[in-house]
Amino acid sequence: MSLVLDDVSYRYPRVAGWAVRGASLVVAPGEVVGLAGPSGCGKSTLGKLACGVLVPAEGRVVVDDGPARPRRGARLVQLVHQDPVAAMNPRWRVRAVLDEADPTGSSLADPVVGALVETGWLDRYPHEISGGELQRVSLARALLAKPTYLVADEISASLDPLTQAALWRDLLGVVRERGLGVLAVSHDAALLAEVADRVVSVGGGTLAV
Ligand SMILES: Nc1ncnc2c1ncn2[C@@H]1O[C@H](COP(=O)(O)OP(=O)(O)OP(=O)(O)O)[C@@H](O)[C@H]1O
């Protein structure tokens, strides 16, 4: 059982050249794999392929022996988007964002979510909280869906060092307790060295790990 990207390639419509070319990667349950590389080399694209937001032109993505995007049932791979503003409905208050992921309405009862989200944010719209706060809401939303794997795309880039450390401590707790597998995309080599079990680095150009 694992998240497998097998020789995947992807090119965006109307753009010359490949964004990702022949990339292969495995993330096991309970493992944190860091993905490093220069801007534009295809890290976010690979993350979107891993969770089924994009479909590879070549190669395949297999999640615990099944498809990345099953027609029915739970989405096993959740993406925490690099840009949480773009990933959130601007007309939904934070409470509605979390309730969509956990319709029981008891999301803050989850200790990890309770640590990430402050009650004072619940009645605000995404534009009424800071970028770093929105990143924490975005991570909480993804964890509420109880994924088996998480693609964490620069999830702590807009946080101060103390808040960043707290967020990763909470997330690594979920990795240990629930066996969550994480693909952590970051430019921050020191952070990846700290949180990842291993780091895949890409030198430059198109991503082909
Ligand atoms: N929606 C899109 N349409 C067209 N081209 C895109 C799109 N998104 C990304 N690209 C292009 O695909 C390539 C890979 O982009 P991607 O965002 O995956 O890189 P990245 O390594 O995550 O970069 P960064 O570290 O700056 O976030 C880049 O050349 C980028 O310009």
What does the H/E/C string look like for the chain? CCEEEEEEEECCCCCCCCCEEEEEEEECCCCEEEEECCCCCCHHHHHHHHCCCCCCCEEEEEECCEECCCCCCCCCEEEECCCCCCCCCCCCCHHHHHHHHCCCCCHHHCHHHHHHCCHHHCCCCHHHCCHHHHHHHHHHHHHHCCCCEEEEECCCCCCCHHHHHHHHHHHHHHHHHHCCEEEEECCCHHHHHHHCCEEEECCCCCECC
Give residue limits of the domains in the chain.
Answer: 28-41+66-196
pLDDT, averaged per 10 consecutive residues of the chain (209 residues), comes to: 94 92 94 92 93 94 81 78 86 93 79 89 94 90 92 89 89 92 93 93 63
CATH topology assigned to domain 28-41+66-196: Rossmann fold (3.40.50)
What is the spatial distance between Cα 206 and Cα 171, in angstroms, rounded to a whole number? 29
Please tell me the predicted confidence (pLDDT) of residue 73: 59
Atom of ligand 1 nearest to the CA of 41: 21
For ligand 1, the distance from its centroid to the CA atom of residue 108, given in whole angstroms, is: 34
In contact, 154 and 133? CB cutoff 8 Å: no
Ligand 1 contacts CB of residue 204 (under 6 A): no
Please tell me the predicted confidence (pLDDT) of residue 4: 96
> What would the two tokens of residue 141 be?
């939303």
Ligand 1 contacts CB of residue 45 (under 6 A): yes
Q: Which residues pair with 26 in a beta bridge?
A: 4
For ligand 1, the distance from its centroid to the CA atom of residue 68, given in whole angstroms, is: 21
Please tell me the predicted confidence (pLDDT) of residue 120: 94
Atom of ligand 1 nearest to the CA of 37: 21
What is the SS3 assignment for 21?
strand
Q: Identify which of 99, 140, 96 has the alpha carbon closest to the alpha carbon of residue 117.
A: 140
